[in-house]
A and B are shown apart, each in its own frame.
Chain A
Amino acid sequence: MIWHIFRKDLKLLWRMVIGVALINLMHRAIQSGAGIFRNASVTPAVLLSGMLGTISLLVTGVLIVMVVQQDPIPGFTQDWLVRPISRRDLLLGKVLFVALMAQGPIFLIEVGQCLAAGFPLGPSLAAPLSRSVWMFLAMDLPVLAFATLTRSLAQAVGAAIAIVMGFAIFTQATILYTNSLFNRLWVTDAAQVAWGLAGVATVLAIQYYRRKTTGARWVYGAAALVWLFVQFLPWQPAFAIEKRLSPQPLAADAVQIAFDPAFGRFHRPAGQPAPVRFRASRVEDDVDLWAPVRVNGVSEGQLLTNDGALERLIDPSGTMIDLGRSGTPIPWHVRSPFHYLIFIPKDIYNRLEDRPVGLEIDHSLTLLQANPAQAIPAAGGDRWIEDVGRCATRISAGGGQVELGCLTPGNPPCVTLSLEYNGTVQGAVQESGCGSDYAPYFGRVIGDSISRFARELPFAGSELKDAQVVFTPYHPEARFTRQVVISNIRLSDWRPE
């Protein structure tokens, strides 16, 4: 009877289904209409697209609430209560409707969008499928469970506003802490979704099999509160899980990181401002220290990203001072020694600057391996590049640089880019998408199934006929940790000159 219930709901809600699909279609059409070359300017189309993105989420939520409320759970007057309708069938009928009529059209629209973007069929199906499954689990089912707690659309809207306000207050209250999270791990996101699903399953079981709305509301509220706190899952265990899931965990065995005082102090170029750290939108009162570091064991064709670091200072009495977590998930240029930036709160620095202290840094790292490099002409190039996406090039209006735009189905790839002429690299090698999370799925809530990136590659010469843009995509092989222990140093020695 699941299908039968589904068809009844469709008969009642088909106009809403079409409306939601049209809003999603408009949103994706505007996104696609922006083309492969993107600029940073805010056009009316960009504004409209952003607005439609939010609206499409809202109307999808409304559709889910409406389908559940065709046969509401709270109350005593619903017709379905006195009909020989299996509660399991009723629940599965609603779940089927949400999967096919709320998420289904979005999936089809995004498949069409990917095919229109010039992607092959496989990636055109895979990315929207992954996103739709993620959306279904992370958003649709929690909304469905929420809808079972409400009797009317007005009640649902009121409760949703209360939840959003509660979420905003919580975020504001915890911003000091969340700002110190330097990078989110996909394991943390997945743990949040898994916890959310456990809460959803409990609420749906209570509502469809026991109809205890008051109890179910408490369960939903408690689950939502814990869900908020799951984002504060400690870094180490979360990273440890990702480490265990590495495709080639032994690949990083040879990698070593060591303090290299022989490399000397960091020389800040004239006019370059000191870096600052933000917390709760305020600049922290820090001192920047630059520790010379050498990395060994990263071979040609490999890339090393520092995903984050836990830093501690040991004062002369042996007391450990936690400096917190820091680090920006960016690739390290490890062919030669480099300076690693550490922020020290000014009061601690002033107290210890000329005294012998120790420094311990626990690095969380990812070793990436290059895939074969591929190239497209620097002018008028446009093709599908394996492991990167569809990329196109053109000469900028001013003529001084090559504009590059890429569309990728799913997560943005880690790729290095260089402009080469007669086998010689012109300008600097650029990176894109490296150091981002390495989730084995594509789980973006806002936007669509396509990742976009654009670069401008300066070109010094005038002959572009034989120039090429060379792409080297990388895939993660091992996630691992290394500890750097620096004893008996003076902090003032490592301030920039």
Chain B
Amino acid sequence: MDQARETVGGKSKMIRADNLWKKFGRHDALRGLSFSVPEGSAYALIGANGAGKTTAIRILMNILEAEGGSAEVLGVDSRRISPRELAQIGYVSENQDIPKALTVAEYLDYLRPFYPRWDKSLEATVMRELRLPRERRIGDLSHGMRMKVALACALPFRPKLLVLDEPLSGLDSLVRDEFMAGLVRQLEDTTVLISSHELSEIEGVATHVGFIEAGRLLFEESMTGLIDRFREVHVTLDREAAPPGLVPEEWLNIRAVGNVVSFVDSRFSEDRLGAGIESLNGSVRNVDARPMSLRAIFTALALAERDAAESKRG
């Protein structure tokens, strides 16, 4: 299986989705989605609500069947994932139905025999770190506690792949911190695919980012590459600024307030930025190019997509 896994640049792909299509009624949930998750990476699949993240993850986990395209997980066609592969995949989802009538300990007792690599000492460590009450019924726990239970059940077998579908939704900041801390501490060599709206939380974890919009992947790249190429730029002119006419296409969300023109440079390099700024009318007093957070990048991209869609419709 490992040998069959696709290898790119010396790193094999733990997940490969190729041109996935999925409809729900008349709605196209996925429209040719393709992306790949390198081994050892922490891949953040980001996108607005309804973009298709959960649908994609469900297809990868063989919970849903795609109408077109293919996907491989751990080198196996996702439609043929067997207990052998599932024993190496941890899965946590905000929608996961965990047996509510069992206590946390009973649930762990139930799951343990299914995983040949289950490590009881790691289980104890995770339980301690997540501060989970073993004897409480799962149904009596809060949503946040239940998500921590799901995480606690996804880690002790040292999964090769950890799939997290909106794991932080609905969690308060304290529980979110505990969840992420528990996750980060145990990751080691695990490859992670995480979809989340909580971009600030996953920023410290993700090594790769895929941006999905309306069922298609707009781009994917490494986190460092993404952070390096995005800058929030403020150009101060010596007179009242007007929205510029022709600007480089990599400039997003351009606006002019007073004598300041602001935009997001999505392919930042000092030389290119300098050349681009020369096209602005007026002499430049100051240029401020700041690195952006993942959240800010996501927001900029989402706004740019929305504007592009509106101008296409208009």
Contacts and interface: CB of A to CB of B under 8 A. Distances in A.
A85 B99 contact: no
Interface in B86-104: 86-87, 89, 91, 93, 95-99, 101-102
Closest 4 CB pairs of A and B: A84-B83, A84-B87, A82-B91, A84-B86
Contacts of A267: none
B61 A12 contact: no
Contact of A83 (B64, B86, B93): B86
Nearest to B98: A79
Contact of A79 (B64, B83, B97, B106): B97
Interface of B: 58, 61-64, 83-87, 89, 91, 93, 95-99, 101-102, 106, 110-111, 113-115
A3 to B, nearest CB: 10
Of A1, A8, A86, chain B has the most CB atoms within 10 Å of the CB of A8
A380 B69 CA distance: 82
A78 B114 contact: no
25 contacts: A1-B113, A4-B113, A8-B102, A8-B110, A11-B102, A11-B106, A12-B99, A12-B101, A76-B63, A76-B64, A76-B95, A77-B93, A78-B97, A79-B97, A79-B99, A81-B62, A82-B91, A82-B96, A83-B111, A84-B83, A84-B84, A84-B85, A84-B114, A85-B83, A85-B114
A18 to B, nearest CB: 15
A77 B110 contact: no
A70 interface: yes
Contacts of B106: 11
Contacts, number: 51
A75 B93 CA distance: 14
Contact of A77 (B89, B96, B111, B115): B96
Contacts of A84: 83-87, 114-115
A79 B106 CA distance: 15
Interface in A51-98: 70, 75-79, 81-86
B114 A1 contact: yes
B232 to A, nearest CB: 38
A1 B115 CA distance: 11
Nearest to B93: A77
A26 B29 CA distance: 54
Contact of B102 (A4, A12, A76): A12
Contacts of A11: 102, 106
Contacts of A12: 99, 101-102
Contacts of B87: 84
A82 B114 contact: no
B95 A77 contact: yes
Contact of A70 (B91, B96, B99): B99
A4 to B, nearest CB: 6
A75 B96 CA distance: 11
B114 A83 contact: yes
A83 B99 CA distance: 13
B113 A86 contact: no
- Chain A: number of interface residues, binned into ranges: 10 to 19
A395 B102 CA distance: 60
B15 to A, nearest CB: 15
A338 B101 CA distance: 70
Contact of B83 (A8, A70, A78, A86): A86
A82 B86 contact: yes
Given A1-B114, A11-B102, A82-B61, A77 B97 contact: yes
Contacts of A76: 58, 63-64, 95
A81 B61 contact: yes
A12 B83 CA distance: 24
Nearest to B86: A84
Contacts of B99: 8, 12, 70, 79
A81 B82 CA distance: 11
A11 B105 CA distance: 13
Nearest to A75: B97
B236 to A, nearest CB: 52
Contacts of A70: 99
Contacts of B95: 76-77
A8 B111 CA distance: 10
Given A84-B84, A84-B115, A79 B96 contact: yes
A76 B60 CA distance: 13
A4 B83 CA distance: 15
A81 B83 contact: no
Given A76-B64, A82-B86, A4 B115 contact: no
A1 B102 CA distance: 18
Of B58, B83, B89, B95, chain A has the most CB atoms within 10 Å of the CB of B83
Given A76-B63, A83-B83, 10 more contacts: A1-B113, A4-B110, A77-B95, A81-B63, A82-B61, A82-B63, A83-B114, A84-B84, A84-B87, A85-B114
Contacts of B91: 82
A127 to B, nearest CB: 37
Contacts of A4: 110, 113
A8 B62 CA distance: 24
Interface string A1-15: 100100010011000
B148 to A, nearest CB: 15
A177 to B, nearest CB: 42
A203 to B, nearest CB: 19
Contacts of A8: 99, 102, 110
Nearest to B90: A82
A30 to B, nearest CB: 32
Contacts of B62: 81
A441 to B, nearest CB: 38
Nearest to A81: B63
Contacts of B102: 8, 11-12
A4 B85 CA distance: 20
B127 to A, nearest CB: 18
Interface in A1-60: 1, 4, 8, 11-12
B100 to A, nearest CB: 9
A75 B97 CA distance: 10
Contacts of A1: 113-114
Contacts of B110: 4, 8
Contacts of B98: 79
Of A75, A81, A84, chain B has the most CB atoms within 10 Å of the CB of A84
Contacts of B63: 76, 81-82
B113 to A, nearest CB: 6
A66 to B, nearest CB: 11
A8 B87 CA distance: 19
A175 to B, nearest CB: 42
Contacts of B83: 83-86
B116 to A, nearest CB: 9
Contacts of A85: 83, 86, 114
